[in-house]
Structure 1
Amino acid sequence: MKCKRFSGLLAGALSLLLVLPPPLAQAEAEGRLFQPTGENLMISPPAGWRLAYMDGDPEGDYVVDFLPQNEAHDSWREGYMSVQRRTFPEAALRDNIRARNLTMPQVAISEVMQIAQRKCPGRFVPMGQKDSLTNNIPTSVSGGFCDRLGPSAPYGEGSVMAVFEGKERLFVVQFSWRPSTENELKQFAYRISPARLQQFLDLLNAATLCGGPDEGKCPN
């Protein structure tokens, strides 16, 4: 199985719980389309965004990417969305996390933020971490903005990421954005308008599970 790495700075940081695969050689690829089986996360992309990439195992780990209609993986600016389904870590690690009265999403997002701040070559502005239930799913959400990220994002990149803990799987959702100019939306700490950020958060808050124990059948 081959899956694509998360795009951007917050992408390389789920090392404690989620082992991310190497990136694809191609910047833009369709992968292969399939209908996942088993427990799945139902979440909608922003209106008008297209399915840009899908790959993985219908019965196991997979990744799905969405982009605005005229964007490409190697040059996107307006936005990017990634949804990944991941196998739980080994039982000993899960038990250790629960013994500390924590959830896997809490630990995963905390690790993401620590590594993201260390890896940002410029100034990193973190978001607070929110640990809650989303439609009865243990969830942790955080993110931030790095103001310098190299040739692909010369004016920086922001992301908001959520980790959802299902009954059988972990699900990771990431929304990202990149300013197109040095001064675009500079009046906002994360270089995104509050209304647009809220749109991403509303989509995260509407996520539900299907296909797992007592979760109902997933739509085709």
Structure 2
Amino acid sequence: MNITTNLSGIGMTSQRTRSRLIQRLRDKGIIEESVLAVMEKLPRHIFIDEAMAHRAYEDTSLPIGMGQTISQPYIVARMTELLVMSGKMDNVLEIGTGCGYQTSVLAGVSKWVYSIERIQPLQKQAIERFKLLGLHNVNYRHGDGYLGWEEEAPFDAIIVTAAPDQVPQPLLDQLVVGGRMVIPVTSSPGVQQLHLLEKTDEGISSMQVEEVKFVPLLGGVVK
């Protein structure tokens, strides 16, 4: 896949089109201005195949190859907003780099982002995009997301961009007390619920946010 260097975009990838997407996100209830500002500047069209670039600013998920997708902009904004509005964002762990779009949004609202991807070809493409965008606060690892990144723990926030059947214990262990995790969890066949978890001195509190649709969270690695 060739990654275009046209960051500004033209036509259906122009700044005007990008701004219309941001207005749609506002209309859907996204209110965190720091998240909206990052997403308005971020060229989503460089994270997908050039043949699909004209659809980059639709509020929909799109395929990125290897059986994976780039998340719907609303979901990216909602998950990021939940974390930003609920506490510190100094040290953030992302499970599932994918194409790197969610990672790049996080980089704009966090001090440091640590992102794990199990599919190495996707990770390599994402790294090219981080370099193109000049992101210097993203650290990445090819590994099993179920295990987290123990060496860099504890984390203020964790975001999981694929759905497990239950929350992985290693990720809960790697949250600082007061830390938050936003994660989609499969509650029944074909049904996933987005949860916002907080780690307290007494244990884990959980708030169910809304129904979502993500690819399943898988263990192991792919080279």
- Normalising to structure 2: TM-score of the pair? 0.23
Q: Which has the higher contact order (CA 8 A, sep 6+)?
A: 1
Question: Which of the two has greater helix per residue?
Answer: 2
TM-score (norm 1): 0.23
